[in-house]
Chain A
Amino acid sequence: MARTEPFQIRIADLRERYRPQREWAEGRGLLLILAHFLTGSGAGAWLFAVPLGSDPGLVIGFFLAALGAVGHLLFLGRPERFWRMATRMGSSWISRGLVGLSLFLVTAFIYLVLLFVAEHKTTLGAILLALSVLGALWTIIYKGFVWASSKGIPLWNTPLVPALYIAYALRGGAAVLILLAGLGTQLGAVEPLEPIKLWLAVSTAVLVLIYLEVMRGSGMTALRSVNLLLFGKVALPFYVGAVLFGLIVPIGIGSFAYFDHVPSGLLALVGLLSLLGDLSIIYCIARAGLYRPLPA
């Protein structure tokens, strides 16, 4: 008898005491992870590019966020109904996120048009820039709350997750600009970012440690999730992606940059690895999510 794959997976899940979360971590769920990473990094890049006056940073930030928005659409089961997602602002973080992301994308796009084809140093340009920064902040903040509002999954249902996502989005934004600088675009403009990036990397490492330690003491389900991250099926992307690429290498090279000049190629590598690390941590947290078992 032919059985479909979801059938077998659900049968297996029904027998698991700690049922894995699959919707946002497998199959098309990977698009959601990618979308959150891209929108976070894009909005972060925009936030840093505005005070640094980095036009390439603005462009790349916008395009990354736009690509993330496309990823969000492709993830939906019925993308043609995406507009309905703005109808429950009162309680749904996805609704709030859609409004924030739309505000960012629309105002950023118009601002970029003004920047490149018209005069942008006008009142309208200033208003658009302010709104785009507000939208970018909104985009960075909402994502963690989407995950944290899942009551059945203890690894996500903690205020530390929004903090972690905000930190990673800012790190991602800085990494995008550092990658651009490493590739030879406005190298001087991002010099102030190097200490900020190191500080972000160190503080994120501390935050990850606090998160794991708090989760270890937050009940059996959360402990199981942490064990999946540290010793289970998610350990490889966690140690290689999130820890090595995302924390150790950026902190190591960032510290070295305090004492000596860092070649632009190495700078680009730091940016790239840092971004890979950011993507990895979002993937790992999504993949390690387990539902609390029903009492039996």
Chain B
Amino acid sequence: MPRWGMVIDLARCVGCYACTIACKVENGTPPGVWYAPVYEREVGSYPTAKRLFLPTLCFHCKNPPCMKACPTKAISKREDGIVLVDSNKCCGSRACVAACPYGALTFVEEIKGEFGDELTPWERARYPQDGVGTVQKCTLCAHRIDQGNLEPACVQTCPTHCRIFGDLDDPGSEVSKLIREHNGTQARPEAGTDPSVFYLR
């Protein structure tokens, strides 16, 4: 069984937000909910100021603190390492939101349209109306992975090949080679969560 994961090469990210948009289109997330946000920061000061971009997603941790904190067993981890929220079991306690060191989960208080209170036909079709009052998060596009050779939408869309998807348990996979050869690092390793997303600097 593979352990699906991702490598994000920060040197390649140009901050175009294509991953964020592709994810929203693929998963139909309502306003205020991003499964793959890009954190943007300014560092330094003129004339050496620059902007840094940090593409993120749910890190699908091997030891997910969200799953431990969830009181309703709504969060589960598949054998291939993908961590999913079952919105039919979620009671909206937001314990997972507070427990996640990476800010990967969002509580959906209400669903409003992007262009006003009335939803457009696309929004009516795509927004998860039964998800109001529950927590949502990145699924690593499990529905695409389960179809066969499809990659997550953010990976497929990235124009700079900044996001690379693959099997972390396969030493011959591209992700494993990149992590090995370029000293891939996990975010906040001290939290003991063992994320499935590695960053290259």
A residues sitting closer than 8 Å to B (CB atoms) are 1-4, 6-7, 9-10, 14-15, 17, 19, 21, 23-24, 27-29, 75-79, 81-82, 84-88, 91-95, 98, 146-147, 149-153, 156, 291-292, 294-296
Say yes or no: B101 contacts A85, CB within 8 Å. no
Q: Digitize B22-63: 1 where CB-to-A-CB distance is under 8 Å, 0 elsewhere.
A: 000000000110100111110100000000101010000000
**Bound Cα distance from A92 to B93, whole angstroms:** 11
Chain A residues within an 8 Å CB radius of B91: 76-79, 81-82, 84-85
Say yes or no: A87 contacts B72, CB within 8 Å. yes
Known: A4-B31, A10-B32, A77-B134. A85 touches B71 (CB 8 A): yes
Chain A residues within an 8 Å CB radius of B191: 151-152
What are 21 A-B contacts with C-beta separation under 8 Å?
A3-B114, A4-B112, A6-B109, A10-B106, A15-B41, A76-B93, A77-B90, A84-B91, A88-B71, A94-B71, A95-B71, A149-B99, A150-B99, A152-B103, A152-B191, A153-B98, A291-B103, A294-B54, A294-B103, A294-B187, A295-B187
CB-nearest residue of chain A to B116:
A2
Shortest distance from the beta carbon of A128 to any chain B beta carbon, whole Å: 26
SS of A interface (majority)? loop
Known: A23-B97, A294-B187. A87 touches B73 (CB 8 A): yes
Most A C-beta atoms less than 10 A away, residue of B43, B100, B103: B103
Checking B98, B132, B187 against A77 with a beta-carbon cut-off of 8 angstroms, the contacting residue is: B132
CB-nearest residue of chain B to A21:
B98
Report the contact-size class of chain B (Cβ under 8 Å from the partner).
35 or more
CB-nearest residue of chain A to B191:
A151
Give the top 10 A-B pairs by smallest Cβ distance, nearest first: A77-B92, A77-B133, A6-B32, A152-B101, A84-B72, A94-B71, A91-B68, A85-B71, A81-B91, A23-B94
Known: A151-B101, A296-B54. A78 touches B92 (CB 8 A): yes
Known: A3-B31, A76-B93, A151-B191. 13 other contacts (CB 8 A): A9-B32, A10-B106, A14-B39, A27-B109, A76-B133, A77-B94, A81-B72, A93-B69, A94-B93, A95-B71, A150-B69, A150-B99, A294-B56
Chain B residues within an 8 Å CB radius of A88: 68, 70-73
Chain B residues within an 8 Å CB radius of A27: 109
> Is B143 engaged at the interface, CB distance under 8 Å to the other chain?
no
**Bound Cα distance from A4 to B115, whole angstroms:** 9
Shortest distance from the beta carbon of B93 to any chain A beta carbon, whole Å: 6
**Bound Cα distance from A27 to B43, whole angstroms:** 32
Say yes or no: A6 contacts B115, CB within 8 Å. no
CB-nearest residue of chain A to B134:
A77
Known: A23-B98, A92-B71, A150-B99. A81 touches B89 (CB 8 A): yes
Chain A residues within an 8 Å CB radius of B107: 23, 77
**Bound Cα distance from A86 to B91, whole angstroms:** 11
Say yes or no: B31 contacts A85, CB within 8 Å. no
Chain A residues within an 8 Å CB radius of B108: 77
Chain B residues within an 8 Å CB radius of A87: 71-73
**Bound Cα distance from A91 to B69, whole angstroms:** 7
Say yes or no: B32 contacts A85, CB within 8 Å. no
Say yes or no: A14 contacts B116, CB within 8 Å. no
Shortest distance from the beta carbon of A60 to any chain B beta carbon, whole Å: 27
Checking A1, A21, A294 against B39 with a beta-carbon cut-off of 8 angstroms, the contacting residue is: A294
Say yes or no: B92 contacts A76, CB within 8 Å. yes
Chain A residues within an 8 Å CB radius of B135: 77
> Is B177 engaged at the interface, CB distance under 8 Å to the other chain?
no
Checking A10, A76, A291 against B101 with a beta-carbon cut-off of 8 angstroms, the contacting residue is: A291
Chain A residues within an 8 Å CB radius of B102: 152, 294
